[in-house]
Structure formats: structure tokens, C-alpha cells
Amino acid sequence: MVPVRVFFATDIHGSEICWRKFLNAAAFYKADMVILGGDVTGKVMVPITTHNGYWEVVFAGERRRIESKEELEKIQTQIRNRGSYPALMSPDELDHLSKEEGAVDERFGTEMLSSLDRWLDMADTKLGSGQVPCILNGGNDDFFEIDPVIESSPCVTFAEGKLLDLDGFHLVSMGWTNPTPWDTFREAPEEALAPKIDAIAELVPDMERTIFNFHAPPYGTGLDEAPALDATLRPIHGGAVMKPVGSKAVRDAIVRYQPMLSVHGHIHESRGIKKMGRTLAINPGSVYGDGVLQGALLELNAKKGKVTKYLLVNG
Amino acid sequence: MATEALGEERPALFLRKATGLVRGWSVRDSMIYACLATNFVTLGIYEFTFAGPAFPTGQLITAVIISGIWVSFLVIAYSGLIVTIPRAGGDYVWQTRILGSGLGFVMAATGWWFILWLWAPIYGNILSVQLFQPLWATLQWTWPAGGAVWFGTKNGIFVVTLITIALAGILVSIGMAGYAKIQRWCFIGGMIGFLVIVLLLLVNSHASFVSSFNLEAHKLFGINNAYASTNTAAAKLGTTSSLGFGPLGPTMLLVPAMMFFILWPNWGSTLYGEIRGASDFRRVFTGMFAGLWITVACTVVFLLLVAKTIGWGFYQNLNTLDYNLKPQFGIWPYPFMFAGWMVHNTAFQVALILVLSLWFFGWVGTLFLSSTRVIFAAAFDRVLPDRAAEVSEKRKVPFYSLVLMLLPAVGLAAIYSYSATFRTYTLDATLVIAVTYLFSAIAVVILPWRKPELWQASPASKIKVLGIPIVPVSGLITIGLLAFCLYEWLSNSLYFVNSRDSLYYMGAMYVLAIVLYIVARIVRSRQGIDLGLINKEIPVE
């Protein structure tokens, strides 16, 4: 049986350059399938105000006056590449957004969904007839409205909460994480995560050929080290102190079920690899803001039920 | 979804509530680390014992100020790198990303891992001469045989270095969480100790110091009229020294020696958070810059007070005797101990030595921290065996990486302790890191061309003077500083760096790193893994 080459990346947070690279990763790394592990949507919306004959935007700490459409497109691309959403609006609309309760949320949602639509169109063009399986998952930072949008894509498979059969392997996916200080969408207490995992894991016929695709990394494994924060979310001691923030339910599930491979994200700073019994656990980390797509290149042998090769890459 | 608006009159951007949106850390914390790293007590006055006598016509204060100004450009260059690619991996990440995997590995392995093996005995020696020797001398303890002098013997240096290595190893194992708190208190305590020294030197006259020195030297070491006899002994060695502002030539030769303590304000600087703006550059820069200039200010104040109360010529005479391996009391001439002698109370003198040792204890924990990061990063990049990054399940101890750090350090400690010649290669420890910095400086200069999009989007590209971006220019000035230092280190034998064995030793480290990388490439290639893919950029279109 021929080994299967998988490219796994995660946490691109709206970075269009990373999405484009993700779509090109299969060809570049000669991968048989590509998986994006969650936190697809961005965190920042940058208003571009329209005026008579020009636009204005504050980007990277600098106020810019844009005189031409070409220049406008260029700055929009730069904003998208950094993982932000450029939002064209009049000064009045901007005032309205700033003052009206819920208006920003609504606009944010619109921008996220329209961006995702564009991304899925790109995937259609790039991946064509779906010869290369492309699997997407939610992450704790992704609002639930993206789920049906991805579900409807003809060439992208939405994996959240599912057991997928991938040509000799099983993929179990969960974008939920243990609670964070930011109170995000898909997070739940550890006691609630364990039954969620068990509910899908128990459907798996063969753990030896199974991949856990859980957004939260396992607790205390070095794949979950984030800067320790104070009550105001400020890193303490100059950011020198790291602490484990992963999920205990995820760790327990890996230890109990011992899948062949377990891929994670969520904690961008914690790029790493950890052997947990027979399970190889990986967090490729993320530096989406730099336009670099960090990922894991994995070669899986279905016959042996083993990860035969792995490499963390900065594409 | 909850959101936050950021901007002045009108919002410039909206953030929704999402993971990782942290606020910038306090500049004060960053300043403390920069100040502890450019440690003018442990490293600075230790270096003056060598630098003063080696370049007797050079002016220390001028050299410290010139060094401070020059290193300020390094601070700007590194601030630019930190806000552009804000990763904890530092030089390794920047160099692999901008210059390539192989070069990045060789520079990181030599500058942040192998050379730390040599820093271990240097740290040990500093602990020996700034804590054990003065403590034993003050308390007149005679065990082990020789008392305070024993800590300067081969066995003494080796034992204290082993203690230092064990201490640093334990701190790596327990993690930074607890130690970071200790560091802050060490800084505060150490500063209080220094203020006491300043006060003592300020309120006492030169005559009072001479009389105290003679009295305590007689009490502790049985030497009569020690002040005069120090000057007499040094005069036989033909020493001359004065404090002023010229000539510039010999003063410039002191600059490469000053790098031993002043080159490290960027040590451990990191930046977290994903929403970066112009304020981040200012914050990162301010922390390092303030730390650097507090060090410069403390050094200048100390040296001026030495000239006023201790006497400049006398201070240099003490250093000259030590430099010629004839220390006046058989132990390293610790100026803070001599300042403490102006209070004729043993308990006070002991307390002062202990409080000032906090400068060491707040600093020692970082000895192997960078090495751990490099070893882990190299293991994750499959250059080192996977085991190198393993952490024990129960105790969370990175056992294999500790072995890779501690065992060679113990070996180097033995060579350092038992070979007086090898001990003179102290500045090798600075040189190798300076080479690593040099490549980071090159990276910052070429960054706008190598990664134009990244550069354009970076707050660093917006920092301009007369329309010229100052970060790449500062990179060029930093290259100038490091090239000047490297030239002097490698061409002038007064730094004890360019001897054959020293060059072999440093060369061996580069060869080891290159061999490691090549072997890794070959082994992984045989396993069907192409390490060349690690930093190859995926096309966008």
C-alpha cells in the first residue's frame, strides 16, 4: 500500500496569503490531501473610509490617504494578507459602527462570510474537481455561521464533529477547546469536552489508523505553552514566563485511545512535536501575521498504522 | 461577538474577542531584563580588571559611553526585527527565515548553545570572585585550606562552576515562572546594594577610604599599610593610568572589551500578540534602551566615585596586580568589598556582599535558557534527534537537552579551571555571540529587499528620520560596530582571542555546527525527509 502524504496547517486567522499558500501546498509538497485545523476567520476589521475622490485608512499604525483604485486594491490585499478584513465605509457609517450596539458585530460577520465565500471560490478554481481532498475544520475563534458556508462547498469537506473515512484512515475532528480568557465561540469546560470527544471516538473502528484533529492541544505536553497573562491579559514578566493552557480532556483522550496521529493548533507559539505512547502529537504553530504558512508534512502508512515521516515546515 | 475599537478620533480598527489578543507587556519588565543582561556588576567590573590594565592609556568612562551609543543602534536594529517577526526564537527564527536554514542553524547553535558551555565556567568564576572569595575573606573562614584564596585555585574554580551549572540546570528544569519573580526581587535588591555603595563612596573622603582600607586589610589579610604597598607593587609592573577623555585611539580599543557586558540589552527580548502597531516598536525599543542606559549610567557613576574616593590610579593598580596574576590579597580585587570596608562592621560587610550577589542570582538563570530553545527548535526541525526535545512526563525535565548543555559545560569547566591559558580566552564567549548578532544585523539590513511585503507591513518600516528608515540604517551601524570589534579581537593579541588554540577552539564550534547540519541533512535524506523544505516558501499564486 502506498503511503499517504498529508499536509496539515492551522490557525490562519483570515490571512489570505496563508490561504492561497494552503491551496498550493498539495502541489508544492506533493501531498495527497490537505487539512486546515481551525481558526480560519480573522480577528481584525480595518475600516477604509470613502471620501470624494479618495479613501483613508490607518494601517500598521500609519494614516494613509489613497488616491487611486489600484492603490486601494493594493492596500486591501495587504490588509487581507495580514489576516484582517478591509471594510469600505463612509465616515457616517464608521461613526454609526462606533456608536451603535451590535453594529460592529454585524459588519464583522458580513465581512467574514464574504471573505470565506471568496476563499471557497478560490478553492474551487485551485482544487478543481476535488482530486486533492481538502478538509477544513472550525476552531474556537470561528463563529458558527461559517459551518453551513463551508458545508456547502463542493470541493472542501467540513470536518467539525465528524468521523471521516480517508482512504484507509479515519479522521476525527473537533474545533472546541477548553475555556480561554477571551470567552470565544467554541469553548467548553473540560467536563463537557470529554463526552464530545468520546461521542465521535467511539464510532472509530480502528484507532491504529486514526487521526485526531482536535484544535486544542493536549495539556502539559509542550504543545500548549502560551505566555502567562495577568488579569488585564498582559504577558507577565516581560513575556518570559510560559504556562501550559491546553486541554486535559484532549490529553486524556489521546492517552486512552492512542490514535496513530493527533494534530492540533490553537496555541500559535507552541510549535512542536510530542510522542504520547504510540501517538505522535503535533502542533505546527502559526505565524499567519507574517504571511508564512507553518504546517506539518506527514507521511502515513495505512498498512503499518504508523506515521512514517514528519516534518514541520514554514512555507 | 464582543468587539473592541482602537483608534484616536475615529476607530482605526475593530478587534473581535478572539484568542491571543494580548496587550503589550510592561516596559519596566523588559527594562529589568535588559539591565540584568548587561550586568555591570557581574560582567562590567569583572571585565574592568582586565580591560584597564590591558589598555592603560584608554579611558574607561569614554569607552563605556561610546559603547552605549554604538550598542543603541543594535537596540534599534533588534527592535525592528522583533516587531517585524515577533517570535520567541529570536536570532534563529530571523536568520533561518531571512538568510536560510543552514546558516540560521550554524549561527544559532554556535551563538546560543555551544558558546554557552564556555559561559558556564565564566559565570562560575564570577560567582567565585564576587561571592565566595569576599565572603570567606570577610568572615576569615579558613576551610577549605587557604580560605578565600582556595576559590581562586583550580579546584575552587571547578567546584564553584559545578555549583553554577547545577543551579542553572535546576532553574531550566523548574521553569521561568518562579524564577521570573526571583529575578525582579534580585534586581531591586541588587540596586539597593549598589545605592549603598554609591552612598558610601559619595559621603566618604579619599583619606577616609585609605585609612579604612589599611585597617581592614590588616585585620583580614595581615598586610600593613596595604594602600601604599599596592601602589608600590603595581609601580614595579610599570603601570600608569589616569581618568580623562583622551586619547581616542586606545579608548576605542577598550570598546571591544566593553562588549563583554554591554552587548546584551536584546537578550531575551520577545514580543507576543498579533496586532502590531507603531507603539510596539516604541515599547520594545524603550525597554531595551532604558536597560542599556541604566547600565551605562550606573557604570559611569561608579567609575567617577571610584576616582573620587578610592582613587583612580589605586583602582587600576589593584586591577593591574590581578591582571599580572599577583593579586594584592591573593583574591580578586572586588571594589564593592573595599567600599564596604568603610563601615567597620563585619555583619554589615557580609550583608553588603550578599545583597550585591543578587546581581548574580538574578542573572544566572538565563545561562542555559537560550540553549534549551535552540535545542528544541533544532529537534523540531529534525536537525537533532527527536529525543533532544523530550520532556519527562512526571517532572517536566528536558532531560536530553540538559545533557546536551550540561555535560559539555562540565567538560569545558574542567579545561577552564585547570588551564590558566584557556581561562584567558574569556572574550571568545563574546566573540562567537557577536558573530551571531552580525548575521542578524545583516538580516535586518537586507530585510526590506528579501521580504518586502513583510517589511512594508511592519511598524519598523514607518520609523524614519529625514525620510530614511532608521532600522536598516541602524543595522548597518551595528554591522560597523561588530566588524570593528571582530577585527580588533582577531588582530590584536591584547584581547587573548587570536591565539592559535583560541582560534582552534572557536573554529571547532563552527565545524561542529556545520557537521551536525550536514549529517542531519544526509541522515534525514536517507529517511526520505528533505530538510531543505523547512523554510522553502510556498508560492502564493
Q: Shortest Cα distance from A198 to chain B (angstroms)?
A: 24
Closest chain A CA to residue B175:
A241
Closest chain A CA to residue B272:
A239
CA nearest neighbour of B496 among B429, B413, B442: B429
User: pLDDT at position B280, please?
Assistant: 79
Chosen for mutation from B13, B29, B453, B521 (greatest number of chain A CBs closer than 10 Å) is B13
Which residues of chain A make contact with B24, given a CB cutoff of 8 A?
234
Confidence of residue A246 (pLDDT cuts 50, 70, 90): very high
User: pLDDT at position A61, please?
Assistant: 72
Q: pLDDT (tens digit, 9 = 90+) per residue, B478-495?
A: 999 999 999 999 999 999
CA atoms within 13 A on the CB side of A123: 27
CA nearest neighbour of A13 among A184, A261, A204, A189: A184
Closest chain B CA to residue A228:
B177
Which residues of chain B make contact with A28, given a CB cutoff of 8 A?
538-539
User: pLDDT at position B5, please?
Assistant: 67
Lowest mean pLDDT of B87-91, B163-167, B259-263, name the range. B87-91
Are B52 and B309 in contact by the 8 Å Cβ rule? The answer is: no
Which residues of chain B make contact with A229, given a CB cutoff of 8 A?
22
Chain-chain contact of B19 with A182 (C-beta, under 8 angstroms): yes
Are B52 and B241 in contact by the 8 Å Cβ rule? The answer is: yes
CA nearest neighbour of B240 among B332, B334, B317: B317
Q: Shortest Cα distance from A43 to chain B (angstroms)?
A: 5
Chosen for mutation from B27, B369, B538 (greatest number of chain A CBs closer than 10 Å) is B538
Whose grid coordinates read 505512547? A277
More confident: A261 or B377: A261
With a cut of 80, say whether residue B112 has pLDDT above it.
yes
Whose grid coordinates read 531595551? B288
For A43, the closest of B16, B180, B457 (CB atoms) is B16
More confident: A12 or B10: A12
Average pLDDT over residues B512-536: 95
Average pLDDT over residues A79-98: 92
User: pLDDT at position B173, please?
Assistant: 78
User: pLDDT at position A88, please?
Assistant: 96
Confidence of residue B398 (pLDDT cuts 50, 70, 90): confident
Question: Cell digits for A299?
Answer: 507521511
Q: pLDDT (tens digit, 9 = 90+) per residue, A151-198?
A: 999 999 999 999 999 888 999 999 999 999 999 999 999 999 999 999
Q: CB within 8 A of A306, min separation 6: which ones?
A: A260, A300
Q: Which amino acid is at B474?
A: S
The full length of chain A comes to 315
For B538, the closest of A28, A63, A78 (CB atoms) is A28
Q: Shortest Cα distance from A21 to chain B (angstroms)?
A: 5
DSSP secondary-structure letter at B497? Answer: -
For B17, the closest of A28, A183, A297 (CB atoms) is A183
User: pLDDT at position B369, please?
Assistant: 78
More confident: B1 or B101: B101
Q: Cα separation of A135 and A162, whole Å? A: 11
Kind of pairing, strands B464-465 and B11-16? Answer: unpaired
With a cut of 60, say whether residue B184 has pLDDT above it.
yes
User: pLDDT at position B176, please?
Assistant: 74
- pLDDT averaged over every residue in chain B: 91
Chosen for mutation from A241, A243, A270 (greatest number of chain B CBs closer than 10 Å) is A241
User: pLDDT at position B3, please?
Assistant: 65
Which residues of chain B make contact with A235, given a CB cutoff of 8 A?
22, 25, 272
Chain-chain contact of A227 with B272 (C-beta, under 8 angstroms): yes
User: pLDDT at position B7, please?
Assistant: 63
Going from the C-alpha of B146 to that of each of A119, A295, B12, B155, B226, the distances in angstroms are 76, 60, 70, 12, 20
With a cut of 90, say whether residue B141 has pLDDT above it.
yes
Q: Cα separation of B21 and A234, whole Å? A: 9
User: pLDDT at position B11, please?
Assistant: 83
Torsional sign, CA B379, B384, B385, B390? negative
Question: Cell digits for B308?
Answer: 573620587
Q: Which amino acid is at B305?
A: L
User: pLDDT at position B528, please?
Assistant: 92
User: pLDDT at position B182, please?
Assistant: 86
Confidence of residue A240 (pLDDT cuts 50, 70, 90): confident
Chain-chain contact of B1 with A97 (C-beta, under 8 angstroms): no
Q: Cα separation of A122 and A127, whole Å? A: 8
Q: Shortest Cα distance from A25 to chain B (angstroms)?
A: 7
Q: Which amino acid is at A210?
A: T
Which residues of chain B make contact with A233, given a CB cutoff of 8 A?
21-23
With a cut of 90, say whether residue A112 has pLDDT above it.
yes
% of chain B beyond a pLDDT of 70: 94
Which residues of chain B make contact with A268, given a CB cutoff of 8 A?
20, 274
% of chain B beyond a pLDDT of 90: 71
Q: Shortest Cα distance from B54 to chain A (angstroms)?
A: 37
Q: Shortest Cα distance from B179 to chain A (angstroms)?
A: 9
Going from the C-alpha of B170 to that of each of B17, B166, B230, B359, B430, the distances in angstroms are 38, 6, 41, 18, 25
Q: Shortest Cα distance from A59 to chain B (angstroms)?
A: 8
How many other CB atoms are there within 10 angstroms of residue A71's CB atom? 14
Chain-chain contact of B15 with A43 (C-beta, under 8 angstroms): yes
With a cut of 60, say whether residue B275 has pLDDT above it.
no
Confidence of residue B271 (pLDDT cuts 50, 70, 90): low
User: pLDDT at position A21, please?
Assistant: 97
Are A127 and A119 in contact by the 8 Å Cβ rule? The answer is: no
User: pLDDT at position B111, please?
Assistant: 94
Closest chain A CA to residue B85:
A290
Confidence of residue B6 (pLDDT cuts 50, 70, 90): low
User: pLDDT at position A72, please?
Assistant: 96
Chosen for mutation from A4, A29, A30, A58 (greatest number of chain B CBs closer than 10 Å) is A58
Which residues of chain A make contact with B13, given a CB cutoff of 8 A?
44-47, 58, 84
Q: Shortest Cα distance from A313 to chain B (angstroms)?
A: 4
More confident: B275 or B120: B120
Chosen for mutation from A7, A15, A19, A43 (greatest number of chain B CBs closer than 10 Å) is A43
Average pLDDT over residues A31-40: 96
**Omega before A217 within 30 of 0, i.e. cis:** no
Are B474 and B518 in contact by the 8 Å Cβ rule? The answer is: no
Helix axes B176-203, B278-305, angle to 10 degrees: 40
For A182, the closest of B18, B180, B390 (CB atoms) is B18
Kind of pairing, strands B11-16 and A54-59? Answer: unpaired
CA B118 and chain centroid, separation: 13
For B533, the closest of A180, A292, A313 (CB atoms) is A313
How many other CB atoms are there within 10 angstroms of residue B89's CB atom? 22
- pLDDT averaged over every residue in chain A: 93
User: pLDDT at position B181, please?
Assistant: 82
More confident: B178 or A232: A232
Average pLDDT over residues B337-346: 98
Q: Cα separation of A267 and A264, whole Å? A: 9
Average pLDDT over residues B424-439: 95
Q: Shortest Cα distance from A84 to chain B (angstroms)?
A: 9
Chain-chain contact of A47 with B12 (C-beta, under 8 angstroms): yes
With a cut of 60, say whether residue B272 has pLDDT above it.
no
Lowest mean pLDDT of A8-12, A282-286, B155-159, B270-274, name the range. B270-274
User: pLDDT at position B13, please?
Assistant: 85
3-state secondary structure chain A: CCCEEEEEECCCCCCHHHHHHHHHHHHHHCCCEEEECCCCCCCEEEEEEEECCEEEEEECCEEEEECCHHHHHHHHHHHHHCCEEEEEECHHHHHHHHHCCCHHHHHHHHHHHHHHHHHHHHHHHHHCCCCCCEEECCCCCCCCCHHHHHHCCCCEEECCCCEEEECCEEEEEECCECCCCCCCCCECCHHHHHHHHHHHHCCCCCHHHEEEEECCCECCCCCCEEECECCCCCECHHHCCEEECCEHHHHHHHHHHCCCEEECCCCCCCCEEEEECCEEEEECCCEHHHCECEEEEEEEECCCCEEEEEEEEEC
With a cut of 70, say whether residue B1 has pLDDT above it.
no
CA B164 and chain centroid, separation: 16
Closest chain B CA to residue A20:
B540
With a cut of 60, say whether residue B273 has pLDDT above it.
no
Chosen for mutation from A184, A290, A292 (greatest number of chain B CBs closer than 10 Å) is A290
Average pLDDT over residues B328-354: 97
For B389, the closest of A62, A220, A272 (CB atoms) is A272
CA nearest neighbour of A296 among A17, A31, A16: A31
Chain-chain contact of B11 with A311 (C-beta, under 8 angstroms): no
Closest chain A CA to residue B457:
A60
Lowest mean pLDDT of A200-214, B357-371, B409-423, B427-441, name the range. B357-371
